[in-house]
Chain A
């Protein structure tokens, strides 16, 4: 009898210890993409993030054992990854006694930016191998379908003797991204 009562209490304690929920909410303000499988960069409120594209405003609310920074940020990360974001920007968490609420911007940082998170492992089918597109002119924002495809056909900047490296445009799986580039160092 004592054993059964003790076992019952252990079950209750185990349930209480694991009793917590994290719910997430979103307001899409940009263009969501396919699910992102890599590590997300987290930029807290008050810090200066690198240039990014806004995708959505997110909120995560943790209750009971999930009412802490770790669970709330994890909830924000999951929601962001589902929308194709590779970063959380302006992350802010308000803490209560038994609840916590966090908000953030779901953002895409260009993969070529030095502060971008490590390249994502593809969540879907493996992408086609990188290729060049010597006969195609591309424009920033134009649609494309082959992730990691690179293009130099927009040519080197006028003051460059050689094409810049990395390439001046790349396909992020949905559209061409053409970040600012600088000339490669002159050859010795």
Chain B
């Protein structure tokens, strides 16, 4: 349980370039969910997902957008899907006799509901980053 708590679930992301090729943007990326500033040029669509929450996924989305040369991300959708995952769990128990105690190992299956959240958006170049 401690090991599970200490292990951060991985975050994965992907992108599709839809505009002209550009160098990676090294500065900050502005994130909005409501509107796109006038004059913004779309450079791609981006997505990040994982068994985690938005506070890890949105920064990953911004990072992925920066690799496309974007300095602005419009978050278009956030959705969470749930599924039941069954996996084997090993356990140990005492066996043998009182005079000859032994430790035995057994395996049982355990079902857990896991949530995968996905954030999708569009990457733009705005203002000074316009080339």
Contacts and interface: CB of A to CB of B under 8 A. Distances in A.
A90 B117 CA distance: 17
B23 interface: no
B84 interface: yes
Nearest to A53: B34
A27 interface: yes
B45 interface: no
B26 to A, nearest CB: 21
Given A57-B58, A57-B75, A101 B113 contact: no
A19 to B, nearest CB: 15
A54 B34 contact: yes
A43 to B, nearest CB: 12
Given A25-B54, A29-B32, A57-B58, A103 B78 contact: yes
A25 B113 CA distance: 20
Nearest to B117: A101
B82 interface: yes
Contacts, number: 62
Interface string A73-97: 0000000000000000110101111
A92 B78 CA distance: 9
Contact of A99 (B58, B59, B113): B113
Contact of A57 (B35, B54, B79, B80): B54
A59 B54 contact: yes
B33 A61 contact: no
Interface in B8-59: 30-35, 53-55, 58-59
B49 to A, nearest CB: 13
Classify chain A's interface size: 20 to 34
B113 A57 contact: no
Nearest to A56: B33
A27 B58 contact: yes
B82 A97 contact: yes
Contacts of A27: 31, 54-55, 58-59
Contact of A96 (B32, B33, B82): B82
B82 A94 contact: yes
B94 interface: no
13 contacts: A25-B53, A25-B54, A27-B31, A27-B58, A27-B59, A52-B34, A54-B33, A57-B33, A57-B58, A57-B78, A89-B34, A92-B79, A94-B82
Given A27-B59, A96-B115, A99-B82, 19 more contacts: A25-B55, A26-B55, A27-B55, A29-B30, A29-B33, A57-B31, A58-B54, A61-B53, A94-B79, A94-B80, A94-B82, A97-B113, A98-B113, A99-B115, A101-B80, A103-B54, A105-B33, A105-B34, A107-B34
The 9 A-B pairs with the shortest beta carbon distances in the complex, nearest first, are A96-B82, A101-B80, A94-B80, A25-B53, A54-B34, A103-B78, A27-B58, A59-B54, A25-B55
Interface of B: 30-35, 53-55, 58-59, 75, 78-82, 84, 113, 115, 117
